[in-house]
Each structure stands twice: as structure tokens, then as C-alpha cells.
A and B are shown apart, each in its own frame.
Chain A
Amino acid sequence: MIFLTNLISGLSLGSVYAIIALGYTMVYGISKMLNFAHGDVIMIGGYMSFIMTMYMGLNGWLALLVAMVICTILGITIERLAYRPLRGTGSLAVLITAIGVSYFLQNIALLIWGANPKMFTSLFNGMKPIHAMGGQLTITPESIFTILANIVIMILLTLFVSKTKAGKAMRAVSEDNGAAQLMGINVNQSISLTFAIGSGLAAVAGVLMLSAYPVLMPTTGAMPGIKAFTAAVFGGIGSIPGAMIGGLILGIIEIFSRAYISTELSDAIVFACLIIVLLVKPTGLLGKKISEKV
């Protein structure tokens, strides 16, 4: 029975990582850039929906929408101001700028909302957890909705990327930036769109994560950001299904290592698994093998 509870909490934690990892993978896919500030966009999303529900009195779902809109705008502005000037100058410079943006977001949040941690009222406050198997197994609404949201987002995103014109444009730009421009695709628009979607999803992930683990502080986004980034690479950076699978597996490993091996070393075990997978498959689970033509 414990196995089932662990599996469910593993899946729900994994779903959170997966949704965040989607943001990392899409941004990396299109502009070969590791957006370290992505973790903090989650935190901003969390604060936004917290403000909406607590002070503006909107209901949870409306607050989520507002948070998504704000995060989308935030994502686009970050790309426009911080990353566009450095496009094409090699990934190291952009990496450091992303880290600068991450510190910036954390400190802005600290100044605006102060250092006191806030308790996030879960989106599914009213709903009752489902007691199955004679009360032994309790499944919280947060877990169910997180897993569902992850699946829905996955389907919508795959459809968007494969079917719609904008989606194809994004894939074209991620395949070959130069050629895409020649084909008349507005690269800047595609990249902004990617950041927009990535940040919007980050808001969703933020709200879902905080519904399950309600402590909200300016530094809340840091650790999940790193874990999700690991999940994105685990699944093969650049591949959308890879991010999903990578996130889920990472979540399950984390929960199971805590439950069965040792809570002290759970982080170490998660990262050790990542290294083992990369040993076996150097470009992650679904990453495309880049072979150098001699």
C-alpha cells in the first residue's frame, strides 16, 4: 500500500517537474540556451496568484489565469531585454545573464513582498481527498489534478508543435535558425512565442506545486528549477516528450529514494541516477544523437 501512495506522490511531484522541464526544453530547443531564470518565473507566478486570491479576492482558477498572463508577459520581456542582445554569442554569456536575471527576480520579489514566507491556499481547497482501499490509500486532489494537468499540457503542446503553423515555425527555427529566416519565418516572433508558452506553463507549474507544498518565499523557485533542469536533460534536452518522461521518472526516483533508501541522501541518489543514465545514453533518454560528420 505504501508503494501506491509513494507512486502517486512520485507521479504528482514528477508532473510538476515535467511541466517546468517543458519550459527549459522548449527554450533550449529553439535558442540553445539554458534559461536558469525559469525557476524563478515559477515563484513570480506563485506570488501573483497568491496576491490575486488573498488581496483581490479572485477565486483560485481566475487567479491562475491572471498569473499565467503576467508570467507570459514577464517571459517575453526577459527574452527581449536580457537574451536577445546576446543571441548568437555562444551559450556561456547568455548562461551568466540568465543567472543574473534569476538573482534579479529573487531580489525584486524580496523587496516587493518582503521576506516573510507566505502560505499558499491550494487551488483545490474545497475538494476532499479520495480515500481508496479502505482508507489506507489517500489521494489528494492536488496530486490528481497535477498529473491530469501534466497529461493535458503534454497533449496540447505536442498538437500545437506538430499541427499549427506557429508550432512548425518554432520547430523550424530550433532545427536551423538561419534556414528558417530564409524561409521567411520571423525568428524573433517564434522565440518570443516559445518564451511565452514556457513562462505560461511555469505559472501553471508554480500554482500546482504550491498547492501541494504551500510554502512561498522569494527563493522557492531555485531548487525546483535545478531539479526540473536536470529532468529536462535526463529526458534529452530539446525533446518535448523527453522532458515529460524525464520529469516523471525523476519525481518517482526522488520519492522512492526518500521512502526506501534514506531521506538524507535522496538528493544525491537522484543526481546519481541522472549520471548513470547519461553514461548509458550520452544524449539523455530521447535526445537526438548529434554525430559529427567527418
Chain B
Amino acid sequence: MKKNWKKAVVVAVSCMMVFMLAACGGGGGSSDAGENVLKMGCTGPLTGPAAIYGNAVKNGGQIAVDEINAANPDGVQVAWQVEDDEADGEKAVNAYNKLMDDGMQVFVGSVTSGACVAVAEKTNADRVFELTPSASQAAVTEGKDNVFQLCFRDPDQGTISADYIVENFPDAKVGVIYNNASDYSAGIYDGFKKEMDAKGVEIVAVEAFADDANTDFQAQLNSMKNAGADFVFLPNYYTPVSNILVQADKMGYAPTFFGCDGVDGILTLEGFDTSLAEGVYLLTPFTASAEDEKTQNFVKAYMDAYGEEPNQFAADAYDCVYACYNAFKETGLETSASAADICEAMVAQFAGGFSYEGLTAANAMKWQATGEVDKMPAVYVIEGGKYVEK
């Protein structure tokens, strides 16, 4: 068939071109031993629905890297490269491979849990040290010695929230609205339910919603109202939470809402009437309005660079970069060392009682050998448009 031959030639030629592009793209693997640079990489969603979190980590990390490079011009410099993974496992592995091709030595990622678990298996196989700022699923660190989490694990947030609620609101009738298509939300709810059952406190009503944040919550809120829930646990990111607050207000249903670290950032939401968020509790390790001096310079630096207040993801990234940097300095290795050697040394550090005082924890953070972090989150309540520590 005549015309198909022509199409075949066109397609075959472009196929060769693309192979070349990809192949040479993969060439530059060796780390430039000349300068004294520690290459840190990260993968996160820079496009797609979760783009806000990927960009926050990218910017937060950049702030820390700029500070470090400025602080010691002749000492160990840091390079920061973030690749887009659209919060999808397959793309995250591709992005990770690209970073490896570009000579990454320490992996500060991935941002979302789904992507991170897929990549964690690769970093474990390639013996690359991994400290994820925000992938909070339990499976991220399970059975992998080289993977550490700077953020809480989902179930832990669930358990801590449950303990806090039972302790401070003993007679509250608790309902839950969670996103059954998001592993973060489902993970926290899992831990929460287990803890509430363990404590013997009954959950009055449980409702779920589909993945996109922009849906109708009347049905869920009605079922909460009918079940007489005066306390609603929302283990979700702040976009659906803001939607829930708006629709609840319209319905005239005003229970106390309790959210987790995902809710942070709701006050920075452009066009959101912050009065609706009054009295909302949230369990979060970081808040831009905290008074301590460390947070304030970070917030100021972030505001100057990106024109908006940093959210908790940015702070996590900032801490991760610093934690890796400090730990690396303590290992005494040269930046020309291979990723695997760095990994063994860093694992020894983190598992061996290395601690780091950062933005995202009141106390100094320590890590267990299993990869979990020991840090106490603070519970805040939004009053007068500000986070007030409880």
C-alpha cells in the first residue's frame, strides 16, 4: 500500500532521532569531580492536580540550597534538581532514572506517597540514600534501610489525632469525611479508625468522596448532620477541606473540624474567606505564622523569592536539604564519593542518633532505624486568621 510506505519512512526517521536524543541525554552520568558539589535530586508533581505540592517542595528546597551555597562559598556546595513525576508511580521511576543519569548522589523525594513507594524500591536497589520530605505512607520505608521520612507516617497522624480528640473532646460525637481515591487520606483514616477502635470510641458516621476536590459535599455533610456529629475529622488536603468549609457554612452546619498536616496552606488560598476557617483544628508540624526566628527568616526568604507564604511541604523540603547537608558533613566524605558510599554513611548517621533541629518540629528530630521520624507535631487552632498553638 503506497501511502503506508511513506508514513513508515517518516515515522522511522523520527524514531531514530528520538532514540539519539534519549540516548545522549543519558550520557552525562559522571559527577563533575572538579567543584566540591553534592548533587541532591527530587521528583515531585510539577504538573497535574497535585502540582501545588511539587512546586512547594521545589521552591522550599531551592531556598535551603541557596542559603547553604551562600553560607560556605568554598566549602561543600549543593546542587538541587527537581524532575516532574505528575504524582504517578511510572513517571516517578522515569524521573528518578533521569536524575541518576545526571549523577544524583542524594535523593530528597518523592513528594507524594504513591510515587515515592515505587521509587523507594529503586533507590534501595541502587543503594541511594533517600529522605522524603512529604511521602507519609507507611509502605515508603517498610523493609528498606536506606529510606527515611522527615514527615509523619499517615497512620501515625491518624493515631495522634485520635488520641488528641479522645483526650480533649471526650464527649464529642466524631464523624469522618475522607477521600477514598487518595492514598494519603485513606492512610490517615486507616490509622485513625484503628486507634479509635482500640480506644473503644465509636465513629458516628464515615463518608468518602471521589478524587477531584471540586465536587458536591451536600450528601456527606447531610449524613454527618443527621448522625449528630458535632466533631468532623478531615484527613484531606486543603483544597477539598476549603470546599467542605464553604458548603458547610452555606448549609448552616458548624461542627468543629479537625484536620491534619494537609490542611496547612488553607489560609494562603487565594480568594478564600479565612473567616470560614475560624476554629478549625489542625495537627501540623509547621506554620508560617510561628514566631520563632528560624521560621520567620524562612518565611521572609520564601516570600521575597516566590511572592507567597510557604506551606508545610516547602518547610519539609527546606528541613530535608539541611538535614542531608548536615549529615553529609558529619560523614566526612568527599563530594566526589559515589552515591552508594554516601548512602551507607548517611544511613549510619540517621540510624545512629543523628538529630536535626528544624522548622517542622518543636523538638530536635531523630530517626529510627526503620526510617520513621520521632517528632512531636503541635496542634494548632485557627483563631483570628492565625494559627494558635493549643
Contacts and interface: CB of A to CB of B under 8 A. Distances in A.
Q: Tell me, yes or no, whether A and B come into direct contact in the complex with CB atoms closer than 8 A.
A: yes
Contact of B208 (A215, A222, A223, A263): A263
A9 B213 CA distance: 17
A117 B252 CA distance: 25
B223 to A, nearest CB: 7
Nearest to B276: A119
B210 A267 contact: yes
B250 A140 contact: yes
Contact of A213 (B55, B210, B220, B243): B243
A50 interface: yes
A291 interface: no
Interface string B233-272: 0000001101100110011100000000000000011111
A118 interface: yes
B215 A213 contact: yes
B52 interface: yes
Contacts of B247: 213
Given A2-B226, A217-B49, A258-B220, A264 B243 contact: no
Contacts of B208: 263-264
Interface in B149-198: 180
A122 B100 CA distance: 47
Nearest to A129: B250
B216 A258 contact: yes
Contacts, number: 111
A216 B272 CA distance: 11
B51 A110 contact: yes
B352 interface: no
A215 B271 contact: no
A115 B222 CA distance: 31
B243 A214 contact: yes
Contact of A118 (B212, B216, B226, B270): B270
A212 B215 CA distance: 9
A2 B220 CA distance: 12
Interface in A98-116: 107, 110, 114-116
Interface string A152-165: 00000000000000
B232 to A, nearest CB: 14
Interface residues of B, number: 40
Contact of B222 (A2, A118, A213, A218): A2
Contact of A54 (B207, B209, B220, B270): B270
Contacts of A138: 250-252
Given A115-B55, A119-B271, A110 B47 contact: yes
Contact of B213 (A117, A255, A258): A117
Nearest to B220: A263
A66 to B, nearest CB: 17
B212 A5 contact: no
Contacts of B271: 50, 54, 118-121, 214
Contacts of A114: 55
Given A115-B55, A129-B250, A215-B240, A258 B270 contact: no
B219 interface: yes
B48 interface: yes
Contact of A115 (B52, B240, B251): B52
Chain A interface size band reads: 35 or more
A97 interface: no
B222 A6 contact: yes
Nearest to A122: B246
B357 interface: no
A107 B219 CA distance: 32
Contacts of B246: 119, 214
B47 A107 contact: yes
Given A120-B271, A217-B239, A266 B55 contact: no
A220 interface: yes
B218 interface: yes
A217 B213 CA distance: 10
Contacts of B275: none
A62 interface: no
Interface in A249-294: 254-255, 258-259, 263-264, 266-267
A214 B216 CA distance: 10
Nearest to B206: A263
- Among B242, B251, B271: residue with most chain A CB under 10 A: B271
Nearest to A139: B250
Nearest to B46: A115
Interface string B271-289: 1110000000000000000
B218 A117 contact: no
Contacts of B270: 54, 116, 118-119
A259 B222 contact: yes
B308 interface: yes
B222 A5 contact: yes
A215 to B, nearest CB: 5
A13 interface: yes
B214 interface: yes
A282 to B, nearest CB: 28
A231 to B, nearest CB: 15
A117 B215 contact: no
A215 B214 contact: yes
A266 B214 contact: no
Contacts of B54: 115
Contacts of B207: 263
Contact of A255 (B48, B216, B239, B269): B216
Interface of B: 46-49, 51-52, 54-55, 180, 207-210, 212-216, 218-220, 222-223, 226, 239-240, 242-243, 246-247, 250-252, 268-273, 308
25 contacts: A5-B222, A6-B219, A110-B51, A115-B51, A116-B269, A116-B308, A117-B239, A117-B269, A119-B270, A129-B252, A138-B250, A142-B250, A209-B214, A213-B214, A214-B242, A214-B243, A215-B239, A217-B214, A219-B212, A220-B214, A254-B216, A255-B216, A255-B219, A263-B207, A263-B219
Q: Which 5 A-B residue pairings sit nearest by Cβ, starting from the closest? A: A115-B51, A258-B219, A119-B271, A119-B272, A259-B219
